Amino acid sequence: MSSKGKTILWSVLAGLGVGVALGMLLAPNKGSETRSKIKTLADDLEDFIKKNTEKKDGDSAESTT
C-alpha cells in the first residue's frame, strides 16, 4: 500500500473514532455509562493498534532479510 493510501486509511479510522466518541458523548445515557463505553472503546482500539503494529513490525523484518 502506498504512503498516500495509508494516510487516507488512518484518517478514515481516526474520523470514525472521533465520530463514535462524539456520538456516545451526546447520547442520552448516564455519565458513568458513557465513560464506561468510552473506556471499553479506547481499550479495544489500543488492542487493535498494538495487534496491527506488531504484524507490520514482523512483516517489515521479514522483507528486510
| Contact predicate 4/24, CB 8 Å | no
Separation of alpha carbons 24 and 11, rounded Å? 20
Mean pLDDT of 6-29: 83
Query: Residue 45 CB: number of other CB atoms within 10 A?
Result: 14
Tell me what pLDDT residue 58 has.
58
C-alpha cell at position 10: 488512518
pLDDT band at 43 (very low <50, low <70, confident <90, very high): very high
Tell me what pLDDT residue 20 has.
82
Q: How many domains are contained in the chain?
A: 1
Please report, rounded to a whole number, the percentage of residues in the chain having pLDDT higher than 70. 82
- Give the range of the structural domain holding residue 7, as residue numbers without chain letter: 3-64
Tell me: pLDDT of 45 over 80.
Answer: yes
